[in-house]
Amino acid sequence: MRAATVLRGTLPFAVLVGAWALVAGAGAVPAMFLPPPADVARVAWELARDGALALHVAASLARVLVAVAVSVPLAVALGVLVALHRRLAAVAEPIVAFFNALSGIAWLPLAVTWFGLGWASVTFIMFNTVFFLVFFNTLVGVRLVPRLFEHAVLTLGGSRRHVILHVLLPGALPSIVTGLRLSLGFGWRALIAAEMIATSTGLGFLIYNAANFHQSDTILVGIVTIGVLWLLTDRLVLQPLERRTIERWGLVAAGS
């Protein structure tokens, strides 16, 4: 059973690579535009061996991790706090929605103005993107928790604090997790773009720099790495998180 699913997952890629090899091999397209898979594999090996790939992957991942580690707790805490006050929440929602809409690469020129070129600006972009999206989803998620649940726990003698921790937070969790998924999606893309412009390490830089030297094989290595990293994030982080919360509790997430 396991083998069958693995096969089903990899066969399409095998076919794709096969088609790719055929087109490249036929000589219709110059190698500079479409390097054959063998070349790309060779370059991947070289980059991995001399640590360059690891360096760039680590740089990008480090930025993601730092941004997420700082922004998510902050966003959730603020989101819960604001959601508790009806008027504040009503006013805050559109403001946060606007900043959501603005999130990402659009902040780069301003970030560079403030922080100069380098990892600070780039991490700021990621932080920004994750923060507002998770904040928004937390805000909406908490406000959507049925009053009924709050009442039920109050009639059990639960304190306000207990209600926040044991009703509002778990109730908002599906929304928060969805927010995390979305923000990682947007954030990761913004990060790559920012790395192309504002810094000299990271996968974005790797592929953009390679373009200057017409190194299409390196570019493709970078692209595949980006795709694989996202799929790993999805498979190893997001899906388990969703399984443990949304699916386990039979809930539907808001705000997707």
- Footprint of other proteins on residues 43-102 (CB under 8 A)? 86-87, 90-91, 95, 97-99, 101-102
* Cα–Cα distance measured from residue 141 to residue 166, given in angstroms and rounded to the nearest whole number: 14
Query: Closer CB to other proteins, residue 119 or residue 195?
Result: 195
Nearest distance from C-beta of residue 186 to other proteins, angstroms: 7
Using DSSP's 3-state secondary structure scheme, residue 145 falls into coil
Secondary structure element (H or E) that encloses residue 185, with its range: helix 169-198
Query: Considering the rule CB under 8 A, would residue 177 count as an interface residue with other proteins?
Result: no
Q: Which of 197, 237, 241, 254 binds other proteins (CB under 8 A)?
A: 197
Q: What angle do CA 218, 229, 100 make, to 5 degrees?
A: 110
Query: Considering the rule CB under 8 A, would residue 250 count as an interface residue with other proteins?
Result: yes
Query: Considering the rule CB under 8 A, would residue 12 count as an interface residue with other proteins?
Result: yes
Query: Considering the rule CB under 8 A, would residue 237 count as an interface residue with other proteins?
Result: no
Query: Considering the rule CB under 8 A, would residue 236 count as an interface residue with other proteins?
Result: no
* Cα–Cα distance measured from residue 245 to residue 173, given in angstroms and rounded to the nearest whole number: 7
Query: Closer CB to other proteins, residue 10 or residue 200?
Result: 10
Query: Considering the rule CB under 8 A, would residue 158 count as an interface residue with other proteins?
Result: yes
Nearest distance from C-beta of residue 94 to other proteins, angstroms: 8
The residue with tokens 């908002």 is 172
Query: Considering the rule CB under 8 A, would residue 113 count as an interface residue with other proteins?
Result: yes
Using DSSP's 3-state secondary structure scheme, residue 144 falls into coil
Query: Closer CB to other proteins, residue 37 or residue 158?
Result: 158
Query: Considering the rule CB under 8 A, would residue 153 count as an interface residue with other proteins?
Result: yes
Category of 199 on φ-ψ map: left (φ > 0), alpha (ψ -120 to 50) or beta: beta
To the nearest 10 degrees (0 to 180), the angle between helices 52-83 and 37-49 is 80
Nearest distance from C-beta of residue 8 to other proteins, angstroms: 6
Query: Considering the rule CB under 8 A, would residue 20 count as an interface residue with other proteins?
Result: no
Give the number of other Cβ atoms within 10 Å of residue 6's Cβ.
10
Q: Near other proteins by CB under 8 A, which window of 17-25, 45-53, 59-67, 166-174? A: 166-174
Residue ranges of the alpha helices (H) in 26-168? 37-49, 52-83, 86-102, 108-115, 119-143, 147-154, 160-163
Query: Considering the rule CB under 8 A, would residue 151 count as an interface residue with other proteins?
Result: yes
Query: Considering the rule CB under 8 A, would residue 134 count as an interface residue with other proteins?
Result: no
Q: What residues have CB less than 8 Å from 44, skipping those under 6 apart?
A: 53, 221, 224
201-230 residues in contact with other proteins (CB under 8 A) are 204, 207-208, 210-211, 214, 216, 219-220, 222-223, 226-227, 230
Q: What residues have CB less than 8 Å from 219, skipping those under 6 apart?
A: 207, 210, 211
* Cα–Cα distance measured from residue 182 to residue 63, given in angstroms and rounded to the nearest whole number: 17
Nearest distance from C-beta of residue 64 to other proteins, angstroms: 14
The residue with tokens 């794709």 is 16
Query: Closer CB to other proteins, residue 74 or residue 144?
Result: 144
